[in-house]
């Protein structure tokens, strides 16, 4: 048997009062740990806020002095339920493990703060007499309301029909056709699936986010499924953008890890332009897709990509302002991207001195830090520079001027035989 000292030491603090461990556990457990709570009872309890109640022990004069060790869950723990939509509607306190289902349903059905549609969904899955009586009464009220609305609409149609143009009549017919459909409520999972598809459509098709709140777009969604309620623009640009971006990164990392060998870091430097740049990387047919949309202001920019044979994945874009920077700045950015570099086998970059210089360039700074890497100048960049030099020779200038294609403020010159 535990000594009084050890029993006192095991007491726990709950709402400023010392209680035994068993009592503390009952107070902290949902619905005081009552057993036998099934799915249908959970549906009822979800309408209520669960509040634990600690009842003081009442002792007679002959029973001596009270001590916390004398408390027990059965005597001192109770449950109070408060309706979430009406804090004045309170049930209990119920004694330990004695929450009753019947009282819960009656309180919900009698409360005017709870929407009738919620009550109808609750009662439709129950066979109790009380639930079926309320549901029958609700259906009768709904039928009367629909009949009254149809009568009013018919009277309005007769009065206005003569003044409507043919186009307006056709529009009313189309709307009536949509209104006559039987629409089933969407489950939470179905709603999320549609949200996901709508968000993907906006991101991949580069649709401005404000379109989701445009009346014509919301009308289209209602025509497709009146039960669907789209999210707001702010939700699209925050929660859903973050969610889809995170999932895309996870898919790309998984795909990259499944490929053999180590990764190559590809660094592409350029100056951005006024406007917007869309960077899109896709690995069809697997449909892993990543899009980066950035505003541009003629700053020095570095795009960083990881690749393995068969897959190239965009990692990040870094901006360095309008002033030129040396290899130390670019090397520092590369280091923060690759970490310890143990999963990297090579680094490829443009053939500028700030990148490939072995004294003060990025390659020279990274070589002692990652001695196992291969450092490669970009072959495509070499071909680009070579083509530009050849195009400057006077004996070829006349031929190359036969066709000019203008793109922005650049001129791409092609030779046509």
Over residues 297-304, mean pLDDT: 78
Residues found in the chain: 417
Looking at the predicted structure, is the pLDDT value of residue 45 above 70? yes
Q: What is the pLDDT of residue 90?
A: 86
Give the range among 227-241, 273-287, 332-346 with minimum mean pLDDT: 273-287
Distance (Å, rounded) from C-alpha 348 to C-alpha 346?
7
Could you give all domains of the chain from N- to C-terminal order, each with its CATH number?
4-115 (no CATH), 188-242 (no CATH), 262-377 (3.30.420)
Residue 322: which of 277, 272, 357 has the closest Cα? 272
Q: Is residue 85 packed enough to be buried (19+ CB in 10 Å), middle (13-18) or exposed (0-12)? A: middle
Full DSSP string of 249-305: HHHHHHHHHHSSS-EEEEEEEEE--SEEEEEEEE-TTS--EEEEEEEE-S-EEEEEE
Q: Specify the pairing of strand 344-349 against strand 374-377.
A: parallel
Q: Specify the pairing of strand 311-319 against strand 300-308.
A: antiparallel
Distance (Å, rounded) from C-alpha 277 to C-alpha 375?
28
Backbone angles phi, psi at 44, to 5 degrees: -75, -45
Looking at the predicted structure, is the pLDDT value of residue 309 above 60? yes
Residue 274: which of 299, 300, 298, 302 has the closest Cα? 298
Backbone angles phi, psi at 127, to 5 degrees: -105, 0
Q: What is the pLDDT of residue 161?
A: 61
Q: What is the pLDDT of residue 184?
A: 65
Q: 365-391, pLDDT tens digit by residue?
A: 899 999 999 998 888 878 887 877 777
Full DSSP string of 209-229: GGGGGSHHHHHHHHHH-TT--
Total Cβ atoms within 10 A of residue 270: 12
Greatest pairwise CA separation for the chain in angstroms: 120
Q: 142-199, pLDDT tens digit by residue?
A: 666 655 555 555 555 555 666 666 676 666 666 666 665 556 677 777 888 888 889 9
The CA-based dihedral angle spanning residues 416, 383, 280, 247, taken in that order and rounded to the nearest 10 degrees: 150
**Highest-confidence segment of 42-51, 95-104, 148-157, 283-292:** 42-51
The token duo for 115 is 């929407």
Which residue's entry shows tokens 């070499």? 382
> Mean pLDDT for the chain?
76
Looking at the predicted structure, is the pLDDT value of residue 17 above 80? yes
**Confidence category of residue 417, pLDDT binned at 50, 70, 90:** very low
**Confidence category of residue 346, pLDDT binned at 50, 70, 90:** very high
Give the range among 41-55, 86-100, 166-180, 376-390 with minimum mean pLDDT: 166-180
Q: How far is CA 118 from the centre of its chain?
A: 26
**Highest-confidence segment of 7-11, 29-33, 207-211, 356-360:** 207-211
Q: What is the pLDDT of residue 31?
A: 82
Over residues 51-67, mean pLDDT: 68
Distance (Å, rounded) from C-alpha 200 to C-alpha 288?
12
Q: Is residue 371 packed enough to be buried (19+ CB in 10 Å), middle (13-18) or exposed (0-12)? A: exposed
Helix 101-110 to helix 129-160 angle (10° resolution) is 20
Beta bridge partners of 269: 302
Decide: 269 and 350 in contact? Cβ < 8 Å: yes
């Amino acid at each position: 048997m535990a000594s009084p000292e050890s029993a006192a030491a095991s007491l726990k603090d709950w709402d400023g009062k010392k209680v035994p461990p068993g009592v503390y556990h009952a107070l902290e457990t949902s619905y005081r740990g009552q057993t036998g709570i099934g799915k249908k009872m959970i549906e009822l309890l979800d309408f209520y806020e669960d509040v634990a109640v600690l009842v003081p022990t009442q002792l007679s004069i002959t029973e001596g002095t009270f001590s916390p060790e004398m408390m027990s869950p059965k005597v001192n723990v109770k449950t109070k339920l408060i309706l979430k939509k009406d804090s004045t509607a309170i049930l209990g306190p119920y004694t330990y493990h004695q929450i009753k289902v019947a009282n819960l349903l009656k309180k919900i059905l009698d409360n005017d703060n709870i929407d009738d549609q919620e009550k109808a969904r609750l009662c439709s899955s129950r066979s109790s007499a009380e639930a079926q009586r309320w549901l029958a009464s609700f259906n009768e009220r709904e039928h009367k309301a629909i009949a009254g609305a149809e009568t009013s609409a018919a009277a309005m149609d007769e009065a206005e029909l003569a003044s409507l143009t043919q186009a307006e009549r056709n529009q009313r017919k189309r709307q009536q056709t949509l209104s006559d459909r039987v629409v089933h409520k969407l489950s939470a999972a179905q709603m999320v699936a549609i949200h996901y598809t709508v968000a993907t459509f906006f991101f991949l098709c580069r649709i401005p986010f404000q379109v989701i709140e445009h009346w014509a777009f919301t009308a289209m969604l209602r025509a497709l499924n009146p039960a669907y309620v789209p999210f707001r623009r702010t939700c699209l640009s925050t929660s859903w953008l973050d969610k889809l971006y995170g999932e895309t990164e996870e898919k790309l990392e998984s795909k990259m890890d499944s490929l053999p060998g180590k990764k190559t870091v590809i660094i592409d430097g350029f100056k951005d332009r006024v406007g917007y740049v869309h960077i899109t990387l896709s690995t069809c047919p697997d449909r892993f897709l990543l899009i980066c949309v950035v505003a541009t202001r003629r700053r020095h920019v570095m795009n960083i990509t990881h690749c393995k044979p068969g897959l190239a994945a965009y990692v990040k874009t870094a901006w360095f302002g309008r002033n030129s920077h040396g290899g130390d700045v670019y090397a520092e950015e590369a280091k923060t991207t690759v970490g310890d570099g143990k999963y990297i086998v090579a680094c490829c970059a443009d053939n500028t001195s700030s990148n490939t210089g072995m004294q003060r360039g990025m390659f020279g700074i990274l070589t002692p830090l990652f001695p196992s890497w291969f450092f490669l100048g970009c072959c495509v960049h070499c071909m680009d520079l070579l083509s530009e030099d050849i195009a400057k020779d006077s004996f070829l200038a006349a031929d190359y001027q036969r066709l000019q294609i203008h793109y922005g403020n650049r001129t791409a010159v092609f030779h046509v035989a």
